[in-house]
Every structure is written in structure tokens, then in C-alpha cells.
Amino acid sequence: MYQNLEATLHDLFWSAHGADAELPIIKAFLNHYPGTVLELGCGSGRLMRPLRDDGYLVEGLDNAPEMLELCRQLPEGEDLILHQAGMEDFDTGSKYGAIIIPAFSLQLVPFEQIPAVFENILRHLQPDGGLYLSTFIPWAEITGEVDEGEWYLDQESPMPDGRIARCHTQFSIERLNQVLIREHRYEIANERGEVMESSDSQQNLTWLWPRELTMLLHHAGFSVEKIISDFDADADFDANGQILTLIATPREDQESDD
């Protein structure tokens, strides 16, 4: 759950990386699955906004009230349909042509709850609908390229008012459990470098290998149609890629395995 400065600075740090490489992949996916879209982990509407600007009908769902409040502050915020709930137990009362989980949001869900997430998504999809999700493999932490337990400057970006936003990070890793534990310290400093605001947060991120994701989806009643590496839809799948994007559809029987 995002809160405090983590919520406030979320979009600033994302935008500092330039154009979002995921958007073209999402749009291409949605063009094959028309109808209303539900974005799980919509946050502040960073991706919902450009999708709606391009004519897609998107509802948002997030479990963090701070992020949904930021979403409501968008120019069209009063017209947005937003749901506050967890991915594993939401019930919007609707079925959708497409459900998307972009920006690695699925990895904030503990591993033991992921089967319930997929089963719940299946209940909310039209029979001919599609599921899109993206995850990442933390290769730098797994291989020791980044030192465990050492603080480092993870993000730094100027703010519109001239102040500087920073995020310092340290991590620990449970390789057998496939959990990356990140501690973040968010700061806003004035032009003299003096810290004016700060807050701390922790994220437990689960990573899953492609075969695991495929098996979990199959067990929940899905068929994986495509796996994309590093947001490059035209390249062959790379088993050593850092970013995995999966596109799945309900199996014809639409029944999960026992």
C-alpha cells in the first residue's frame, strides 16, 4: 500500500524515466479485447489517464485510499469509476472485456494470495475477455550486483516548485521464498539541500518465474496466449529478460482445476 510521501512522489519518479514503455503494449492488447477495462492497482491514475484520453473506458481499483484520492484529483476525477479493494477479494458486480495489472502491481500481493487473485479476475472477465499483467525479475539483487543491506540513492528528481525529491533504498532478499524486501526513505529537500519532509516505507515484492506464472494461471482457468520480454512485443521471448508481460484468456471450459 502506498502512503505518505511514497504516494505523493510516486508519479514524479515514474515520469522522470520518460515515456512509459508499457503503454504501447497495453494499448495493443486492449485493441484485441474491446469493452470496459478494469485496471487493478490503478494507483494515482498514471496509466489510466492516457488510456482514457485515447478513448478507452477504464475503471480503476486500488487498496490504498491515498492513491485513489490522488486519482480523484485528476481533471476528470469526478467521472472516474474507482473501487477500493484488494485484488484477491474485490467484487465490482460487473464483468469486463479486459483486466490489466500493469506496473508490476501483482508483485505487491503475497504469493499465497496470487491464486485467489487469478480466480477472482476470471470471475470478473467476459468469456471472450483478456488478462494483461507485467512483472519483473530482480536480477541485480538476486545476483548480488547491488549490495544487500546498504542504503543507496535510488531516485532523485526536481519538483515543480524547485525542491528536490529523493528516495533512498536498501533491501534484503529471500531467494528460496522469492521475496525482495525493500525499505525506502523518501525525502523532500529545499534548494539548500536541507530535508524538509521525510517518511519511510517497506515493500515485500514477490517474483515469479515464467513457468510458475503460467501454471498458476492455468490452474485458475486461464490459457496463456503470449509472453513478452522487456516490453518488446516484436522480439522472441527471452528467458533471461528482466520484465515479463503475460497475456491470458479464459480457457474454453472456464473452470479452474481441482
Q: pLDDT-based confidence at 256, cuts 50/70/90?
A: very low
Please state, in angstroms and rounded to a whole number, the distance separating the CA atoms of residues 238 and 227: 9
Homologous superfamily (CATH) of 4-137+207-250 is Vaccinia Virus protein VP39 (3.40.50.150)
Domain ranges within the chain, ordered by starting residue = 4-137+207-250, 139-206
- Whether residue 252 is predicted with pLDDT greater than 70 in this model: the reply is yes
Burial class (CB in 10 A: 0-12, 13-18, 19+), 12: middle
For residue 93, CA distances in Å to 22, 120, 181, 249 come to 28, 12, 34, 20
Answer whether residue 6 shows pLDDT above 90.
Answer: no
| pLDDT tens readout for residues 76-116 | 767 899 999 999 999 999 999 999 999 999 999 999 999 99
Confidence of residue 8 (pLDDT cuts 50, 70, 90): confident
Residue 93 is predicted with a pLDDT of 97
How high is the pLDDT of residue 253?
76
pLDDT grade, residue 1 (50/70/90)? Answer: very low
Q: What is the pLDDT of residue 18?
A: 52
Q: What is the rounded CA–CA span in Å between residue 229 and residue 226?
A: 10
CATH fold, domain 139-206, is N-terminal domain of TfIIb (2.20.25)
130 contacts 249 by C-beta, under 8 angstroms: yes
Tell me the pLDDT tens digit for each residue of 117-155. 999 999 999 999 999 999 999 999 999 999 999 999 999
Length of the chain: 258
Q: What is the DSSP string of 147-182?
A: -TT--EEEEEEE-TTS-EEEEEEEEEEETTTTEEEE
**3: pLDDT strictly greater than 70:** no
Three cell numbers, residue 170: 536498501
Task: State mean pLDDT over 49-77.
Answer: 90
Average pLDDT value for residue range 25-38: 97
* pLDDT at residue 106 in the model: 98
Does the pLDDT at position 255 exceed 90? no
Q: What is the pLDDT of residues 192-245, one digit of tens each?
A: 889 999 999 999 999 999 999 999 999 999 999 999 999 999 999 998 999 999
Which pLDDT score is estimated for 258? 46
